[in-house]
Every structure is written in C-alpha cells, then in structure tokens.
Structure 1
Amino acid sequence: MEPTRTCRLIRSSRTYHGKQGFDYAEAISKESVDSQGICMHLLTIPPGQRAKAHLHQAHETAIYMLKGRSAMWYGEKLDQHMEVEEGDFLYIPAGMPHLPYNPSDTESCTALLARTDPNEQESVLLLPELEALWLKQQAPAD
C-alpha cells in the first residue's frame, strides 16, 4: 500500500553539507517530504567563499537572490561571468557548468534555490578538471 500524500510544513532548522562545498538549509526534497519533481532550499554564502565547479545533470535550477550580491563563472570552460543582485532571478539550464561565489569580503549573501531534481545532491556532478583550468586562468600572469 502506497503512503498517503499530503501537504507538509518544513521549519528549516537543519543544514547539510553539499558536494559543492556549501552548507544548505534543509527544506523541500525527496529526502525531507518525498517530493517527486522539485528540490528547494536556502543557501547562504559566507563572505569571500566559493563553490566547487559543478553542474546538475539533466536538471534545471532557478535562483532568487534574497539578500546581498553573488557572482558566478559559467559555461563550458567557466569563461563567462555574471553578477546577481538582491531581487534578481537566475536560471541555470541543465548540464551547465558553473562556479558560484560571494565577491564580498564582509557581507554574506542568501538565495532561495529550486531544482527540477527532487533529490538534494543526486544530480550534482563535480568538475575538478574544469575547476583546475579555471584556477589556472585566475592566476596572475608572471
């Protein structure tokens, strides 16, 4: 017999450490409420911190910047860049390599994230080779 599906309230008090290198506030996911097609959580990036280069296989991501400012390197070689400000919406297509970070040395930034993957971490694919290439590109010329 299948369990009865019903509405669920989540008061986010727990966090989990994602493969990307950030801590996320637990919210809506397959793991927390048995969602079937969406994962939603809150991310606060401390000043000066960045994620590991990654992509989400076959799943789209929608982000709303609640507080502060974030930035992101993205693209097949992480050679494109954008800044996201408070009140902005950001769409990341499935399979798009990206490396988000907080450019501020003093202020945290907070965003609400939603993905079409109900599992919190299942579709996360780390890209260490791409991150190494990006780090090499960021190094000052001698």
Structure 2
Amino acid sequence: MNTPQTPGMNRAAAINRATTGANKLWAGTVNIQPNAKTGAHHHGALESVIYVVNGRARMRWGEQLEFVAEAGPGDFIYVPPFVPHQEINASTDEPLSCVLVRSGQEPIVINLDIEPVEPPEEVYWVDPIHPEP
C-alpha cells in the first residue's frame, strides 16, 4: 500500500524494487470506487498495461481526451508514453478491480490542464483508517 494514492482509487504494489528487486517493471493492483474519475494526466516516458479483473473501465485519451473506449473483465488496456488520458470507473454502483504494470519504478504522474469531457469526481476512500470527510 506504500504507493501514491488518488481519491477513489486504492493502489497496492506487488512487484517492485522493494518487494522483489525488480529494476525495470512495477506491477500491482488498483481498485477504483464506483463513479471515480481521475483528472487528465500522463505518466511521462512510462508505458502502462492495465488488465481488467472485475467491473467496467472507461478510458479517455488524446490531446483533448477526444477518444473513448470501455473495457471489461479479461480485457487489456495499453497506455503509451506521454499520452494524455483519464481513467474512469464506468459503473455508478460497482467497484472496478485491475492489475497494473508499468515500465519503470518511479510513480510519475503529470497532471494536465485539459478540460475533461467527464469532470473528475472525488470519491473518498472510507475505511476504519480513513474516516468520511
């Protein structure tokens, strides 16, 4: 759980330098609460692969987030380096669970000043350690 977190998203590292000595890959899980949406961002030179385990993912990408596709259980999503994108749980009532693999160890996130088609919604992570705001 020692990874950068985004409201509504819970990331956990499985394979990284600290856990296995990996130098060129990072792999872990991300669980996204219903209706959670990130802002527009990219991950610099990193490549990412997302494998959908449960739920429905919607990905927007492009210079103005003009492209959109959805993915369900068993689908893969590839995010090339420097591509602006927005990650969305397409469901308003079911969580989205994914496996995430990146081509590097650094948690690079470059937030972009792009007006997203689907404005980000902060869905708070609430559990015994994180009380409702």
TM-score of the superposed pair, with normalisation by structure 2: 0.79
The sequence identity of aligned pairs, in percent, is 28
Partner of 2:63: 76
Alignment pair present for 1:125 and 2:103: no
How much does 1:58 deviate? Answer: 0.8
Partner of 2:96: 109
In structure 1, the residue corresponding to 2:53 is in which secondary structure?
strand
Partner of 2:83: 96
Deviations 1:78-130 (A, max 9, x none): 111010111101111111111011121110010100010122x1x22111x11
How much does 1:138 deviate? Answer: 5.0
- Using CA pairs under 8 Å that are at least 6 residues apart, name the structure with larger relative contact order, 1 or 2: 2
Partner of 2:43: 56
**For 2:28, which of 30, 36, 41 is the aligned residue?**
41
How much does 1:15 deviate? Answer: 5.3
Partner of 1:10: none
RMSD after superposition: 1.8
Deviations 1:7-56 (A, max 9, x none): xxxxxxx35443x5432012222344442101111001110111121101
CA contact (8 A) 1:67 1:109 kept: yes
In structure 2, the residue corresponding to 1:58 is in which secondary structure?
coil
Larger Rg computed on CA atoms: 1
What 5-or-longer segments of structure 2 have no aligned partner?
120-133
Distance 1:114 1:90 in 2: 11
TM-score of the superposed pair, with normalisation by structure 1: 0.75
Distance 1:50 1:89 in 2: 19
